[in-house]
Amino acid sequence: MSATWTDIQDTAPVSGDTLPATLLTPLPEAGVIAVEGPDATTFLHSQLTHDIEGMPEGSWRLAGWCNPKGRLLALFRVVRDGDQSFRLLCPGELVTGVMRRLQMFILRARVTLDDRSGEQLLLGLYGEEALDAATRELNTTLPEPSGTTHTHGATLLALAADRALLIAGPDRMKRLWLALHHLPVGDPQHWRLLQIRAGEPEIFQDSQDLFIPQMANLDVIDGLSFRKGCYPGQEVVARMHYLGRLKKRMFPISGTGLPPRPGTEVRDPADKRLGQVVVAESDGEDSFAGLAVLPLDHAEYGAALIEGKPITVGPLPEAAHPPSKGRG
């Protein structure tokens, strides 16, 4: 029987109150879906929000999968391993439902879907020391952002200048862990907090069918292409883009107490719903950080509240600001 992270991890994670400068973060809750076959590229291109046909081998892209109304059902890191093979990385809780629904669209396409979550383990790498140690152990260099490296039975995904994902089978991951676990060890909550600070959304079961891609800033973080052909919900997404009717965006938030669950409502002092939480995680002993979809003019409604407690709403990413109106 293959080892799991429960079998491999032998080091307690650091305290969640502060993030050290470098971390190894086992991700036992991650899901991996293999999509393979002669029609894998065209199939994924027809389903996802990004240009899959234009992906070179040895790269990854963020891409959403929507319902016919343009609401996100899942958000994947799409890894292109070869001409006919891809992996979709997403929260493990989505894998069964996503595969069941994707299967409905295959029809006569020569495509297979396979849950590889138990066969491939994910390790998050954060900070220069962790990245250097991993690349040294793999005898490789860190690829450019959005690039991947396949070497010595492992795949390395560069997410940003200071973050990467390592994917390997259980036996290979166990050997890598033995070589790397002298570094500070984190847990999925640490990794989620890093993603939140980077403005990267996730979709979970509680937040499916809630947000169109632009509300989650996918057009800002390169998870959405307006130059590709049709996919489920594409008409709604394109209309929102070309007609300029987007009224909500994803903002950073912070507050005190336990982190709210995805989908939790954000309300104003008059108890009117402003928006909903995308993701949140503990950021100290009695505080949290998160991302929430809110109206662009949310400040006009007064304080933003979650379960009656005020939260702080941070600024939009610069690229997400609506274009300024020219003077007539």
Domains along the sequence of the chain with CATH: 20-197 (3.30.1360.120), 247-316 (2.40.30.110)
Look at residues 211, 209, 220, 225 and name the one whose alpha carbon lies nearest to residue 94: 209
Q: CA angle, 124 as apex, 2 and 185 as ends, to 5°?
A: 90
* pLDDT tens-place string over residues 85-104: 999 999 999 999 999 999 99
CB distance 20 to 184 below 8 Å: yes
What is the spatial distance between Cα 81 and Cα 292, in angstroms, rounded to a whole number?
A: 33
* pLDDT tens-place string over residues 45-78: 999 999 999 999 999 999 999 999 999 999 999 9
Per-residue pLDDT of the chain (328 residues; tens, 9 = 90+): 457 888 888 777 876 567 889 999 999 999 999 999 999 999 999 999 999 999 999 999 999 999 999 999 999 999 999 999 999 999 999 999 999 999 999 999 999 999 999 899 999 999 999 999 999 999 999 999 899 999 999 999 999 999 999 999 999 999 999 999 999 999 999 999 999 999 999 999 999 999 999 999 999 999 999 998 899 999 999 998 888 778 999 999 999 999 999 999 999 999 999 999 999 999 988 999 999 999 999 988 889 999 999 999 999 988 887 765 443 3
> Which amino acid belongs to residue 222?
D
What is the spatial distance between Cα 29 and Cα 256, in angstroms, rounded to a whole number?
A: 26
Global pTM value: 0.94
What is the spatial distance between Cα 145 and Cα 164, in angstroms, rounded to a whole number?
A: 9
Report the SS3 class of residue 140: coil
Q: Tokens standing for 118?
A: 């138990």
Look at residues 243, 268, 259 and name the one whose alpha carbon lies nearest to residue 193: 259
